[in-house]
Structure 1
């Protein structure tokens, strides 16, 4: 097993405060704990340099992402074309250490021929062309919708060129899609790296239902609105929506329902407290992609979890959740679980399932074996 690795990250992975960078940060940390010297390369576009990363890395480099027209290309997806830096490619080629690209976002050096190493792998965070296609469906801005559709077409063409590389996907579904769509033959599942190590769910009962997410993201806003208009408009069950930067229209919609509370921009401690006090977590998704780390958070910290197929498919976590794919099923499961005690047996079953799949040390070892 190699004792050095280059990791090229699409963003600065600290603070670990949203899905993609959570996986990157806790991967870096797990590799460090294995004794691997991590050479981290970050594209920076607003998060700044972070001294915390130096605790876990032999070296940390930052590169400016070429945003706006500077990163535009007629041939390449914007998320790829905007992450190009000659100094980065030279550093990767200067030694024989393996390279791990975080997302197709960071693979410009492969498409241009600037990186010619053989011991590389790509982390697939999503089937990106499908992700952008689905995002476009939920955009209300015609300009943003057109951009998402255009990016999806470019991504499908671009992702097809990566099929012969070693790929480690974050979900089983993404493996299947790459195998079927691109005939990828060297792809396997590597679970997400996560902050939680033990289940801290409280036994007993809570007294409200919780939905949480980054509410400035169109999909999450639509999900919260759907829950209010299609599920909780007929239920009198206390309902809390918590998340970052909700748009005014969502705040106004929530205020129409006397049993609904909106918690705007909760801090980490406040959100953890809400998650542990909730009786039921409702986590439907409008988009099927990768794995949602908010689902893992709810399973490690919360009581009962209700989710739909789009959230659960390919995660291996179906047995830990109650399935609801439409408003009728969602209302039934909320009614059923709101008064159902969460027991020690529930905690033990959940812990066994999660620890079997989401063991950071075991998964770090799997990553390094893939790069041999």
Structure 2
């Protein structure tokens, strides 16, 4: 089976959830015998020099890319206020990308075109015109829901109004596209159910992020050391920044007063200068670090204080695969059915967070068991090859016309 995968940014290096989700699934599909082709935008913000790809990044038959500058431009954003178009989507419309897509569709026969995120839905008419391939939308999130949650958490009225304005147009577009897909490949069952409530009626599959557990070597020795907290995430993604600042402003001072030796370590790409220059007791900010696994492995507890966002957090899965204890909000664990105090800590308020960390400091042996349970949980539920095998089976059924509308994979 020949699959063309369309991406809005180069899916390497594996430093964010989208790249991890794209790469591990495509690698597993290739292992199962699918012939994978990649067409991706190489954006200015996430630019990657393809000559730096490692030799083992070899699961694609061919890789094609187009440089795209889709940075937010103040004047364009202002003009968009008077347009019905979604600015979230219009920034990804590229004539050069369209031409490369046409050339690929003309010179190859693909069975499936797998579109990674709704941002590339504008190219569906081109796919229909030049190919008879089935179109699968891999929805990493319900995009408008992320922005609605951010808007709801915003207090400054002008910004809140603007975010609500953008969200309204994004929702109109995202919901309007639901009828265009032959299959919805949602990251979580919860998201798939939500899309159905919004009017999606075709074939639907819940396909979570999968990992190759052999890539993650746990370091359980950290549980014998003084407990420390870590946070890692791209800080140009608003939900990450919002959640981290909430934690620093509403939780950390109380934690630090109660546990004066406790240290908090923060890492992430695109860390703003205001955070790099942060002067707060026992808080160390690293910015971008060369090895995320090494950073996560150095600390007992990984904090995920998300207040908005959507889909599934790959970094939580990676932390669990490394045998770390995750302390997350309920929202942060969407799509990951781990149990409180067995595989993770779940806390939604400053009081709950402090209580859980207090418990952790007093029960280090329990932390070790939780870390071991977390790794077992990911191994059993998020193995990329098992996930890809189920998806590949459904793709073949769709290709042969045997998949019914109500077929749903969990």
What band does the TM-score fall into relative to the shorter chain? 0.7 to 0.9
Residues 8 and 250 (structure 1), Cα distance of their counterparts in 2 relative to 1, 3 Å cut: same
Task: Report what 2:382 is aligned to.
Answer: 358
The residue that corresponds to 2:233 in the other structure is 213
1:83 aligns with 2:93: yes
- Of 11, 18, 34, the match for 1:13: 11
Equivalent residue runs for 1:168-183 within 5 Å: 168-183=185-200
Would you say 1:250 and 2:250 are equivalent positions? no
Any idea what SS the aligned residue of 2:123 has? helix
Shift of 1:362: 1.4
CA distance in 2, matches of 1:223, 1:117: 44
Distance 1:227 1:205, change over 3 A: farther
Where does residue 266 of structure 2 map in the other structure?
Answer: 241
Name the SS for the 1:234 alignment partner.
helix
Q: In the TM superposition, what is the alpha-carbon distance from 1:266 to its structure 2 partner? A: 2.0
What SS class does the counterpart of residue 198 from structure 2 fall into?
A: helix
Deviation for aligned residue 1:10:
1.3
Cross-structure match for 2:401 = none
Shift of 1:324: 0.6
Describe the shift of the 1:185–1:36 C-alpha distance in structure 2 as closer, same or farther (beyond 3 A).
closer
Cα shift at 1:40: 0.8
Structure 1 residue 371: Cα displacement = 2.0
The alpha carbon displacement at 1:152 in A equals: 2.0
Q: Distance in 1 between matches of 2:293 and 2:332?
A: 21
- Alignment match, 2:399: none
CA distance in 2, matches of 1:9, 1:278: 33
Task: Measure, in 1, the Cα distance between the counterparts of 2:371 and 2:252.
Answer: 28
Q: Does 1:100 align with 2:124?
A: no
User: How far did 1:233 drift?
Assistant: 0.7
Mapping for residues 308-319 of structure 1, pairs under 5 Å: 308-319=329-340
Query: Which range is displaced more, 58-67 or 139-148?
Result: 139-148
CA deviation vs aligned residue, 1:197-250 (integer Å, no higher than 9, x gap): 456141533421222222333332332222222212122222222223433333
Moved more, 338-347 or 311-320: 338-347
**Paired residue for 1:369, among 378, 386, 393?**
393
Match of 1:295 among 316, 332, 345: 316
Check the 8 A contact 1:280/1:338 in 2, yes or no: no
Q: CA deviation at 1:59?
A: 1.4
Deviation at 1:12, TM superposition (A): 0.9
Does the 8 A contact of 1:199 with 1:299 survive in 2? no
With the length of structure 1 as denominator, give the TM-score of the two structures: 0.86
Question: How many residues align structurally?
Answer: 366
Secondary structure at 2:364's aligned position in 1?
A: coil
Please give the alpha-carbon distance, in whole angstroms, between the structure 1 residues aligned to 2:201 and 2:69: 30
Q: What are the superposed Cα offsets for residues 155-183 of structure 1, whole Å, 9 maximum, x if unpaired?
A: 22222233342111112221121122224
Asked whether 1:157 is paired with 2:172, we answer yes
Contact 2:230 2:299 in 1 (8 A): yes
Q: CA distance change for structure 1 residues 95 and 285 in 2, over 3 Å: closer, same or farther?
A: same
Say if 2:64 is the partner of 1:50.
Answer: no
Distance 1:239 1:186 in 2: 45
Question: Are residues 1:324 and 2:344 paired?
Answer: no
Conserved? CA contact 2:116–2:139, under 8 Å = yes
Structure 2 CA distance for aligned equivalents of residues 210 and 137 of structure 1: 27
| Structure 2 unaligned spans of 5+ | 397-410
**CA positional deviation for 1:42:** 0.6
How far 1:194 sits from its partner (Å)? 3.2
* In structure 2, C-alpha distance between the alignment counterparts of 1:256 and 1:341, rounded to whole Å: 26
Distance 1:9 1:102 in 2: 5
Find the aligned partners of 1:183 and 1:134 in 2 and give their Cα distance. 22
Secondary structure of 1:363's match? helix
CA–CA separation in structure 2 for the residues paired with 1:172 and 1:340:
34
Show the 5 A alignment for 1:256-275. Answer: 256-257=280-281, 259-268=282-291, 271-275=292-296
Is residue 186 from structure 1 mapped to residue 210 from structure 2 by the alignment?
A: no
